[in-house]
Amino acid sequence: MGQIELKQVTKSFGDVQVIPPLDLTIEDGEFTVFVGPSGCGKSTLLRLIAGLEDITTGHIAIDGTDATGLVPAKRGLAMVFQSYALYPHMSVRKNIAFPLRMAKMDKAEIDKRVAAAAEVLNLGDYIDRRPGQLSGGQRQRVAIGRAIVREPAAFLFDEPLSNLDAALRVGMRMEIMELHKKLDTTMIYVTHDQVEAMTMADKIVVLQAGNIEQVGSPLELYQHPRNKFVAGFIGSPRMNLIEGPEAAKHDATTIGIRPEHTRLSTTEGTWQGTVGVAEHLGSDTFLHIHGIPGCDPFTVRTGGEVALSHGDTAFLTPDPDKMHRFDAQGLRIA
């Protein structure tokens, strides 16, 4: 079990309120991702759930029982830290056994559980080494191993992949998702990388300045961003946001058009502009078009081979069904 409920939770450091009153429910077994730019309060929120920070006001309940005043150890949660936080003076085996040792579990049970975790995570080859002798990916696995042996109500991940190189990151992403399917336990995962959020989450919580901007499944957020911030944050490359007369034509203060929802032509279209820099990814090309009124540059996503080069004239036509409209407050107009 692992349902986590936050009611009117706030957090202040001194006079600065970093989390304004916030309500959130994370269902049992859900993979929830907290995503937002750095300094948005996502890590603080995770630490509040973990009990590593006190909440200033409000309540936190885990599986229906109030956990607001509980010390971290009593909350039944496990955490994987950004730096992995392995105990450098202990072997991998001892690292993984540590939480069980603290729980005064008997030796045979500890050995059994450590062996099982090692099996799941393929730690067998380096179970008796020290963390200092392991690669980044291996350390990551040990950190996860230390978390799973306790059979916690929920796992908390604090940007666990940010110290890994790009290739390894994709691999670990898959492993964590596999693990979630296998264990079927609640996971809360903090990241600033919206790609990680989109690929991994059942539910995404977008945060900005301590506020929840939107909660929803990856596709909900992509298709129906509640406001301009979410629209700009989710999706890569970013959504083009156009203000001014062009937006007014659609009865909105701002209109948003995703790069992939724009047709490119050399002869005719709604808007005319000049081709700037092109980013070739092989499968796709991102073209930056200058001279579109209210948005410079405008990014277009198009096929791998493009006949246009720097300085050419290009015409753009947005897909009217996929256009997002926002009012003066930046909220979505339905």
Partner 1 sequence: MATKASRSAARLMMAPAVVLLMAWMLVPLSMTVWFSFRKYLPLRGGDLGFAGFENYGRFVSSSSFWPAVSTTLIIVGSVLVITVVLGVLLALLLDQPFWGQGVVRILIIAPFFVMPTVSALVWKNMFMDPTNGLFAHLWRLFGADPVAWLSEASTGSVVLIIAWRWLPFATLILLTAIQSLDSEQLEAAEMDGAGPLQRFGHIILPHLGRAITIVILIQTIFLLSIFAEIFVTTGGAFGTRTLTYLIFQRVLESQNVGLGSAGGVYAIILANIVALFLMRIVGKNLDA
Partner 2 sequence: MARAVTTRRKTLTTALAWVVGLVIFFPILWTILTSFKTEAQAVANPPLFLNFDWTLENYAVVQERSNYMRFLWNSVILAGGSTILGILVAVPAAWSMAFVPSRRTKDILLWMLSTKMLPAVGVLYPIYLLFIRFGLLDSRAGLVMVLMLINLPIIVWMLYTYFREIPGEILEAARMDGATLREELLYILTPMAIPGIASTVLLNFILAWNEAFWTLNLTAVDAAPLTAFIASYSSPEGLFFAKLSAASTMAIAPILILGWFSQKQLVRGLTFGAVK
* Secondary structure of residue 129 in the 3-state scheme: coil
66 binds partner 1 (CB under 8 A): no
Query: What is the nearest approach in angstroms of partner 1 to the Cβ of residue 54?
Result: 5
If one asks whether residue 85 binds partner 2 (CB under 8 A), the answer comes out as: yes
* Enclosing H/E stretch for 303: strand 298-303
Cα–Cα distance between 168 and 139 in angstroms, integer? 12
159 near partner 1, judged by CB under 8 A? no
Phi, psi at 155, each rounded to 5°: -105, 140
Among residues 37 and 72, whose Cβ is nearest to partner 1? 72
Give min distance, CB of 47 to partner 2, in A.
Answer: 8
52 binds partner 1 (CB under 8 A): yes
Distance CA 160, CA 186 (A): 16
292 binds, among partner 2, partner 1, none (CB under 5 to 8 A by kind): none
> Would you count residue 41 as binding partner 1 (CB under 8 A)?
no
Query: What are the helix and strand counts (H, E) for the chain?
Result: 9, 18
Indicate which of partner 2, partner 1, none lies near residue 13 (CB less than 5 to 8 Å, by partner kind). partner 1
Q: Does 52 sit near partner 2 (CB under 8 A)? A: yes
Q: How much helix, strand and coil, in percent to the nearest 5, is found in the chain?
A: 30, 30, 35
Q: Are 261 and 319 in contact (CB under 8 A)?
A: yes
The position carrying tokens 């995770």 is 46
Pick from 13, 54, 102, 263 the residue near partner 2 by CB under 8 A: 102
Name the binder of 53 from partner 1, partner 2, none, CB < 5-8 A by kind: partner 1
State the number of binding residues for partner 2 (CB under 8 A).
22
Contact between 334 and partner 1 per CB under 8 A: no
Pick between residue 51 and residue 152 the one whose CB is nearest to partner 1. Answer: 51
CB 241 within 8 A of CB 228: yes
Residue 168 binds partner 1 (CB under 8 A): no
DSSP H helices, the chain, are 42-50, 92-102, 107-121, 136-148, 166-183, 194-200, 218-223, 228-233, 245-248
Q: How far is the CB of 210 from partner 1 (least distance, A)?
A: 15
The entry of partner 2, partner 1, none that residue 82 binds, CB within 5 to 8 Å by partner kind? partner 2
Is position 54 an interface residue for partner 1 (rule: CB under 8 A)?
A: yes
Position among 81, 91, 276, 325 found at the interface with partner 2 (CB under 8 A): 81
Quick check: 37 and 197 in contact, CB under 8 A?
A: no
Cα distances (Å, whole numbers) of residue 167 to 32, 83, 84, 133, 164: 23, 18, 18, 21, 8
Instruction: For residue 57, state whether it binds partner 1 (rule: CB under 8 A).
Output: no
Q: Does 51 sit near partner 1 (CB under 8 A)?
A: yes
Write out the residues near partner 2 by the rule CB under 8 A: 50, 52, 71-73, 77-79, 81-83, 85-89, 98-99, 102-103, 146, 150
Site residues (vs partner 1, CB under 8 A)? 13, 51-54, 71
